Amino acid sequence: MILLLSLMNDIWVEKYRPKNLAEVVGHHEIVERLTAYAKAKNIPHLLFAGPAGTGKTTCAIAIAKEIFGETWKQNFQELNASDERGINVVRGKIKDFARTAPLGDVGFKIIFLDEADALTADAQAALRRTLEKYSHICRFILSANYSSRIIEPIQSRCAVFRFKPLNEEDVKTYIKRITENENIEITSDGLDAITFIARGDLRKAVNALQVAASVSKKIDAETLYMTTATAKPEEVKDLLSTALKGDFLTARRKLDDLFITYGLSGEDIINQLHQTIYDIAIPEEKRMMLIEKMGETDFRLIEGANERIQLEALLAQFALVGKTLRF
């Protein structure tokens, strides 16, 4: 317990957040463009779009530090649109900060609006006018997981940067740097496991590493899978293969193990099955049928259907498809 408390005092995601654009992991083309803005001490309105944990917030903070230097905190306002989604946040907090004069000689301030795709349509319509009216003393950086949820008039006023999931090598390099600084040993299979768990989300990888480090100073794949409630890929593959062989009862018992041993939800299991389906040697036509069945089950789970019944029904569908295959 003492080890756990001492490790969790520092949140490693924040502790190892890059201090400048040069330290940002991956996204070389994006970093190059942002660095050019920083050198010119001028930026347009920006829209950062992409999956969670890929560096959108990090880049926003890094460019603010490089433009403003020591006064970056006074000239940088971070708001999370998912906390307050309505038009009042645009008319209140955002407009109040945007209309005040900046500090220093740069000539503008930055408002970073995280999860901007959570803003209501009315709030986005109000924001559109704010972007224009105060652009002489304020620049906006909008962050969104889904750029399609940002109205077109706002997108047309911003330079759009699209972030993609980080590749495995970038994640491994970053994780190795943390383990060296924290005097933690991580095995090669542990590195492979953490990239599988993260799926390009660096924040998820760092959090998984910190939780595993609270259990053991030597981190291997077994520790990571257990502490992150993630089933081993080989176990999911075994479940899928067993179902496709038509052994429904055995597959059902393996499904129970995933529910009980790892505490996985139905959606977690669907996601891991979807990852594993591409590792099974079956005809493409059958693979497409299985993916269609998984999509239908996933939709039913989101709508509130019983997880156990739906997943057992999915295994039954796999068994029926498997009868047409030769193993």
**How far is CA 206 from each of CA 34, 52, 175, 212, 266, rounded to the nearest angstrom?**
24, 13, 7, 10, 25
**How far is CA 227 from each of CA 75, 182, 198, 214, rounded to the nearest angstrom?**
40, 19, 13, 10
pLDDT at position 87: 66
Strand partners, 325: none
N-to-C CA span, the chain: 49
Distance CA 153, CA 77 (A): 23
Strand partners, 77: 111
pLDDT at position 90: 67
Strand partners, 142: 47, 113
* Token pair recorded at residue 42: 């001028």
pLDDT at position 83: 63
pLDDT at position 251: 92
pLDDT at position 315: 93
CA nearest neighbour of 204 among 196, 216, 192, 214: 196
CA nearest neighbour of 91 among 129, 144, 60, 117: 129
Distance CA 324, CA 327 (A): 10
Which residues of the chain are under the pLDDT cut of 70?
1-9, 81-90, 325-327
Sheet holding 159-162, edge to edge: 76-80, 109-114, 138-144, 46-49, 159-162
Distance CA 259, CA 144 (A): 33
- Is the distance from CB of 49 to CB of 162 less than 8 angstroms? yes
pTM, 2 dp: 0.82
Cβ atoms within 10 Å, residue 74: 12
Distance CA 10, CA 178 (A): 13
Distance CA 147, CA 49 (A): 6
Domains of the chain: residue spans and CATH: 2-8+166-227 (1.10.8.60), 27-162 (3.40.50.300), 233-322 (1.20.272.10)
Distance CA 18, CA 54 (A): 12
